[in-house]
Amino acid sequence: MSRRDDIRERIMSCVEIVDTGYETPCHLWTGQLSGDGRGGGYPRMKLNGQTVAVHRVSFTNEHGYIPGKKQLDHKCRQRRCVRDDHLEIVTCKQNAIRREMANGRRKPRKRRSHKPEVMVLEAAE
């Protein structure tokens, strides 16, 4: 068994598959969480003697490394979800905006058209 398969098996052994209303069912972590504070509620596990975020391990295991200044956003809005296709690499700003929109504190912005306005001039008679 490869290391990837071993990590995938360890993750799936602590997962409950639940339909949370997102496009596909979430893989909700049933193991240890990061706590109750503001940044709490994220899945944690031991890997090579270190405590790591399970959603980050799951994503990295399937898609490769996450760039240093990027974050993972849970598209399904479930912190306990570790399903790799429910996670997306975003900037800190994108993640904050999506979180505010999901919590109803921000409305989506209308996209501005980058097309120049065309003025129609009438010919003088």
Q: Alpha helix locations (H) across 3-66?
A: 3-12, 54-63
Distances (CA, A) of 66 to 1, 44, 55, 89, 96: 25, 17, 11, 7, 18
CA distance 78 to 86: 9
Distances (CA, A) of 120 to 65, 80, 117: 52, 56, 10
pLDDT band for 30, please (50, 70, 90 cuts): very high
All domains in the chain, ordered by first residue: 3-102 (3.90.75)
The structure tokens listed for 47 are 């890997």
pLDDT in tens, 76-125: 989 899 999 999 999 989 888 888 887 776 665 666 666 666 666 676 65
Instruction: Tell me what percent of the chain is helix, strand and coil, each rounded to the nearest 5.
Output: 25, 20, 50
CA distance 57 to 122: 64
CA distance 106 to 84: 27
pLDDT in tens, 56-89: 999 999 999 999 899 999 999 898 999 999 999 9
